[in-house]
Amino acid sequence: MNTTKKVAIGVDVGGTNTAIGVVDPEGNVMIKDNIPTATHGNFEKFIEDLATAIQGQIASAKLLNENLEFLGVGIGAPNGNYYSGTIEYAPNLSFKGVLHFVKLIRNYFPEMPALALTNDANAAAIGEMIYGGARDMKNFVMYTLGTGVGSGVVVNGDLVYGHDGFAGECGHTTLIPGGRLCGCGALGHLEAYCSAPGMKRTAFELMVQYNATDSLLANKSYNELDSKMIYDAAVAGDFVAKLVFEKTGHWLGQGLADTVHHLSPEAIFLFGGPTAAGDLIFKPTIESMEKHLLPIFKNKIKVLPSQLKPGDAAIVGASALVWQELKK
């Protein structure tokens, strides 16, 4: 006689593709699939097609193990609002305005115990708490470094959504007053310095500063250069590339210190492409954070790499919402 195995479904809504996966209680993706996000005509049709894809995943997963019990669907989406289950004015989605995601998908899964939505970085933070390095922590913060910089804040074991569902946008704190133009239109935000494109901007700023014609990065156009090339050049000993990591860490550490002064978390987790550089980024980040901290906070806040696996993190994080919902 087989016993039931409880699983959760994670959905990661991106501008181009939406990924769907079935995740076990240890955070392993048992099976996953993709559908395009933008080609469905309208949002209602997208939800219908997504529901069909989810039902397909459920059927496929049951072929692998007929005793699966599906506890819910967790959705990570840009500008996702946990309270209302809506996506609101997401700049990178083709669907505009306020989208009633949870309400619409509920029609297709009337019996599913948990259906919940939040933004990608909040989902990643919950993923870290349910499956990753924050399993024993009640107070921590997650920074996700990628095209942008997202964050998720956990206080007393609960994700902080704020009064409107949108808390945890630490990427938009001001690092340099009057500094670089951020994608959001404001000046000097952390995201304009510590995201992957921010690192590219820093590389060009440094080449300008030092007229670094002999840098390994000096033969790439502004549109060609990416953070992986900067990493490879740093490993090869390139002066400019190494300094990019130094400066990025310096800026990120300043931002992390601001977060510590607000929340005094046990740890701050870093997730995303640039964090794969290990000590190159962690060392200057930690040094800078410590320098900016009040004495009572010095040498006690951990800065740690996320334990979520890069490829599956978005699906896994979204699925973690389901377990978190069912705890309540």
Q: How far is the CB of 81 from a second copy (least distance, A)?
A: 9
Beta strands in the chain (DSSP E): 5-13, 17-23, 29-36, 68-76, 80-81, 86-88, 98-99, 114-118, 140-145, 149-155, 158-159, 267-271, 302-305
Do the Cβ atoms of 220 and 229 come closer than 8 Å? yes
Smaller CB separation from a second copy, 212 or 243: 243
- Give buried/exposed letters for 109-125 (b at 16+ CB in 10 A, else e): beebebbbbbbbbbbbb
Q: Which residues pair with 75 in a beta bridge?
A: 11, 117
Q: How far is the CB of 296 from a second copy (least distance, A)?
A: 5
Q: Which residues pair with 8 in a beta bridge?
A: 23
Binding mask 1-30 for a second copy (x = CB under 8 A): ------------------------------
Binding mask 274-293 for a second copy (x = CB under 8 A): -----------------xxx
The footprint of a second copy on this chain (CB under 8 A) covers a number of residues equal to 49
Of residues 235-254, which lie at the interface with a second copy (CB under 8 A)?
254
Within a 10 A sphere around the Cβ of 165, how many other Cβ atoms? Answer: 19
- ∠ at Cα 161 (252, 125), nearest 5°? 50
Smaller CB separation from a second copy, 88 or 205: 88
Q: How far is the CB of 140 from a second copy (least distance, A)?
A: 8
Q: How far is the CB of 150 from a second copy (least distance, A)?
A: 11
Smaller CB separation from a second copy, 119 or 215: 119
Q: How far is the CB of 173 from a second copy (least distance, A)?
A: 4
Q: How far is the CB of 264 from a second copy (least distance, A)?
A: 3
Question: Which pair of tokens denotes residue 52?
Answer: 């069909």
Look at residues 119, 30, 78, 94 and name the one whose alpha carbon lies nearest to residue 312. 30
Q: How far is the CB of 185 from a second copy (least distance, A)?
A: 7
Phi, psi of 137 (to 5 degrees): -105, 145
The region of 12-20, 92-100, 261-269, 304-312 touching a second copy under the rule CB under 8 A is: 261-269
Smaller CB separation from a second copy, 191 or 238: 191
In sequence order, the 6+-apart residues with CB closer than 8 A to the CB of 20 are: 9, 10, 11, 32, 33, 34, 35, 50, 53, 54, 57, 315
Of residues 84-123, which lie at the interface with a second copy (CB under 8 A)?
88-89
Smaller CB separation from a second copy, 19 or 129: 129
Smaller CB separation from a second copy, 83 or 210: 83
Binding mask 150-189 for a second copy (x = CB under 8 A): ---x-xx-x-xxxxxxxxxxxxxxxxxx------xxx---
Look at residues 263, 27, 271 and name the one whose alpha carbon lies nearest to residue 160. 263
Of residues 291-320, which lie at the interface with a second copy (CB under 8 A)?
291-297, 300
Beta sheet of 149-155, edge-to-edge order: 158-159, 149-155, 140-145, 267-271, 302-305
Of residues 132-151, which lie at the interface with a second copy (CB under 8 A)?
137-139
At 144, is the secondary structure helix, strand, or coil? strand
Tell me which of 86, 144, 259, 324 binds a second copy, using CB under 8 A.
259
- The contact set with a second copy (CB under 8 A) reads 79, 88-89, 137-139, 153, 155-156, 158, 160-177, 184-186, 254, 257-259, 261-266, 291-297, 300
